[in-house]
Structure 1
Amino acid sequence: MAHAKMYDDGDLHFQRVRALALTLPAADMKVSHGRPAFFTQKVFAYYGASVKDTGSAQERSGSTAAGDGYVQHPQVVVIRPEEADVSFLEQDPRVFRPAYLGPAGWFGIDLDGLDPARDEGWDEIAEWLETSYRLTAAVKLVRELPRRE
């Protein structure tokens, strides 16, 4: 059974994330389980996520109930950080562990506070995308990226 499409091509946040992700060497996009997934051979980021609905206000902030026991977060980028960054991410109120992917080390970063028409804040998202890419892409592709200082 095919999954329903869970994003809007006209969503400006999605367009910004897609543009950032596709600048990485050999990056492409596919739809997986109804959501955009950015990948080379392995996925390095998703757009949109859900969490189990436990009724907390934080889960409902900027999200929609799906009626299936999950709260949808449509304007979120899901990335895999380096282990050294986990405690930093856990302190950020925009960040959460998404259903299914969270236990495997993935984090969702809420984009609701970012204006897709302005550059402010998007450098950080680009850095998280690149970090996740570095953890999942082939060594040959990672070598094409600028060295980190």
Structure 2
Amino acid sequence: MAHPIMFEADDPLLARLRGVALAMPEAEERVSHGRPWFSHAGGTAFAVYGSGTKGPDKVMHPHALVVHVDDDERPARVQDPRFFVPAYLGPKGWLGLDLDDADWVEVGELVDASWRHGAPRRLL
């Protein structure tokens, strides 16, 4: 079953995130499950644009960055109200951050750390 596209191609927040994510070595973008995913060339994902939460209080976050967060940083990030635990990826150590009022220096740091988490050794 094909997933519906859940983003606008001309979204300015997505354009800005593309600039950050695709600046990482050998990064590429693909659409999966209706959302833009940024991955190491032919490999592991390190960022997703848009997500939502699960459960009875389900909330959609269409303009969010979802990244893998280091285990030692995760407890503090979870306590920060700007972050949310995304459906499906949350149990694997990923968190989401809405980009509407984001600090883009922090966004760059989050993308970099997530990229490093799954980068091939030769790129580190």
- 16, 40, 50: which one pairs with 1:48? 50
What does residue 25 of structure 2 align with? 25
Deviation at 1:94, TM superposition (A): 1.1
Amino acid at match of 2:85: R
- 52, 55, 60: which one pairs with 1:72? 60
What does residue 38 of structure 2 align with? 38
What does residue 132 of structure 1 align with? 114
Amino acid at match of 1:96: F
Instruction: State the TM-score, normalized to the length of structure 1.
Output: 0.78
Partners of 2:59 and 2:81 lie apart in 1 by 17
Structure exhibiting the larger radius of gyration computed from Cα positions:
1
**Quick check: 2:68–2:114 contact (8 Å CA) kept in 1?**
yes
Residue aligned with 1:89, SS: helix
Partners of 2:89 and 2:11 lie apart in 1 by 23
Deviation string 1:43-65 (CA, Å, 9 cap, x unpaired) is: 0010000112534xxxxxxxxxx
- 59, 65, 70: which one pairs with 1:82? 70
Instruction: State the TM-score, normalized to the length of structure 2.
Output: 0.93
Deviation string 1:93-137 (CA, Å, 9 cap, x unpaired) is: 1101001111111100111213xxxxxx20110000000000011
Aligned residues: CA RMSD: 1.1
Partners of 1:26 and 1:112 lie apart in 2 by 27
Residue aligned with 1:99, SS: coil
Task: Provide structure 2 residue ranges, at least 5 long, that are not aligned to the other structure.
Answer: none
Task: Provide structure 1 residue ranges, at least 5 long, that are not aligned to the other structure.
Answer: 56-69, 115-120, 143-149
Identity of aligned residues (%): 42
Amino acid at match of 2:33: H
Note if 1:3 corresponds to 2:3. yes
Amino acid at match of 1:90: V
